[in-house]
Structure 1
Amino acid sequence: MHPMLNIAVRAARNAGKVILRACENMSQVETSQKGSNDFVTNVDKEAELVIRDTILKAYPEHAIVGEELGHTDGKQADYLWVIDPLDGTTNFIKGIPHFAISIALKVKGRVEQAVVYDPIRDELFTASRGQGAQLNSKRIRVTKSTELAGSVLATGFPFKQKHHLDAYTETFKALFIQTTDIRRAGSAALDMAYVAAGRIDGFYEIGLKPWDTAAGELLIKEAGGMLMDFAGGANYNNSGNIVCGAPKLISLNTCSI
């Protein structure tokens, strides 16, 4: 395992311990609202602090950006860690056991290392550029699906941007009538990890942030998948609008989105 991936795994597992302890005593979880339908807990912040501490002990000059605590400059600015300490906070608050820790390392703007960790199931999705993607150290691949018929997709509703609801609903209708089914589970990081693992054929969502997708992006690429924006280009990191999955499925059916 690459040394920097090893640190990312250690950071994710340390954060997982924080989250699992909180699950055992939810009465101690403090929740606040940071935006429209956008919640944060003391556990999100504590988990991010643990991740940052683990990374900076190993690489004190690296930069970090996280969902909850913002940007920390580093002397080695070419190395940027992108963190979502608890992707699926609403699930966590409601006691729905589906959420994850997402950690990615960008080197000169390109994702080189990625971890998505589900502490409830103890499932660790990892990838290093050029080395493939793994789930608990076993190689994973996207599905070989080539058409929407028979496929299962995942999505996320635009719950923070409800002005997109009409456009989203039309897209959902166009896809739903052609697929076997569509899932909405509440964690983009896990949705993308599941695409990489071949559990679902594709995923799409509007308005995601870099910390939602950075680790999943490398997982999918290293698992043989494809990512694009809704126009069929590569601007998904800027637009936040992402489509990913089995290459032929995505390239042939992006026009439906």
Structure 2
Amino acid sequence: MFMNNDLNIALNAARKGVETIKSYQSKALNTREKGHHDLVTDADLETERNILSYLKEHCPDDMILAEETKAHEKLSGARTWIVDPIDGTTNFAHDFPVYCVSVAMWENKEAQVGVVIEVNRNEEFTAVAGEGAWLNGEKIRVSNTSEPKDAFIGTGFPYNDLSLVESYLKLFRHLMDELQGIRRPGAATFDLCCVACGRFDGFFEYSLQAWDVAAAALIVKEAGGVITDWKGGDDWLFGQRIIAGNPKIHQVLLDRVEEFIPIEQREAVV
């Protein structure tokens, strides 16, 4: 596995997050809603504090964008760490196994390093721009599935933005018939990493935030996958809509989104 200083920092920061999460797995959680169906726990908050403390110690001049503290909302060209302390908080709060820590470093508005750790399986997905992607130190690649009938994909169900539900359900109904299978693990970072290592052939979702995709999208791209927004463009980090996949299945999903989702719904209203 290719290592550089930034990847080492990202890995160590994410591992500190995992340690914190595991310390809460046998405790009663304090949970509240920060938005409609959008949970936050005391574990999220402490995990983020510990990750950010490590990053600030080792990279004191860098910017930070994190889910719970949101140090700033947009990217300049400066070095910026983008952190999701627990992606899959609802899973975590219900002791359902899929939840991840995500740490990315962006510079000049491009992802440079990405780390996603799935806590329960202790799977460490990593990528460095231009150097490739790995799972627990082993090189990974997207699948070579080309036919929709053979495609196994991930998605996310709408939970706090229901404005697209009718269009989404029409798309979902069509894909249920066209594809081999669809799954919804409940953590977009994990879904994207499953694309990167070939478990999923594709993935699409809307209402995502930058910290949900900043690390995992780089992992997909470095594994040979394609990442776009729902218009086939590059506005996926803050655009709240993403399609990922191997090149063939990505195109299938993009075509179906264009077929079933009205053009005015293919980008977020901000």
Structure 1 length as normaliser, TM-score? Answer: 0.95
Q: Which residue of 1 aligns with 2:13?
A: 11
Q: Which residue of 2 aligns with 1:230?
A: 230
Distance 1:47 1:77 in 2: 27
* Counterpart pick for 2:25 among 23, 31, 34: 23
Partners of 1:147 and 1:253 within 8 A in 2: no
- Equivalences for residues 80-91 of structure 1 within 5 A: 80-91=80-91
Q: Secondary structure at the match of 2:44?
A: helix
Q: Which residue of 1 aligns with 2:255?
A: 255
Q: How many residues align?
A: 253
Q: Which residue of 2 aligns with 1:242?
A: 242
Q: Which residue of 2 aligns with 1:94?
A: 94
Shift of 1:253: 4.2
Distance 2:14 2:252 in 1: 36
Q: Which residue of 2 aligns with 1:163?
A: 163
Partners of 1:154 and 1:200 within 8 A in 2: yes
Q: Which residue of 2 aligns with 1:140?
A: 140
Distance 1:72 1:167 in 2: 32
- Answer with 43-52 or 232-241: which moved more: 232-241
Task: Provide structure 2 residue ranges, at least 5 long, that are not aligned to the other structure.
Answer: 258-270
Partners of 2:152 and 2:182 within 8 A in 1: yes
- Equivalences for residues 1-257 of structure 1 within 5 A: 1-25=3-27, 27=28, 29-71=29-71, 78-257=78-257
Q: Secondary structure at the match of 2:64?
A: strand
| Percentage of matched positions with identical amino acids | 36
Q: 1:125 to 1:181 in 2, by over 3 A?
A: same
Structure 1 stretches of 4+ moved >4 Å: none
Distance 1:47 1:71 in 2: 16
Distance 1:8 1:87 in 2: 16
Cα distance per residue 1:15-48 (max 9 Å; x no partner): 10110110022x1x11011111111001001000
Partners of 1:48 and 1:68 within 8 A in 2: yes
Distance 1:48 1:171 in 2: 36
Shift of 1:238: 3.3
Structure 2 length as normaliser, TM-score? Answer: 0.91
Q: Secondary structure at the match of 2:231?
A: coil
More strand as a share of residues: 1
Distance 1:253 1:155 in 2: 11
Distance 1:216 1:253 in 2: 19
Shift of 1:78: 0.8
Shift of 1:255: 1.3
Q: Secondary structure at the match of 1:70?
A: coil
Partners of 2:77 and 2:109 within 8 A in 1: no
Partners of 1:15 and 1:47 within 8 A in 2: yes
Task: Provide structure 1 residue ranges, at least 5 long, that are not aligned to the other structure.
Answer: none
Q: Secondary structure at the match of 2:214?
A: helix
RMSD across aligned C-alpha pairs, in angstroms? 1.4
Distance 2:72 2:63 in 1: 6
Amino acid at match of 1:58: H
Amino acid at match of 1:37: H
Distance 1:160 1:145 in 2: 32
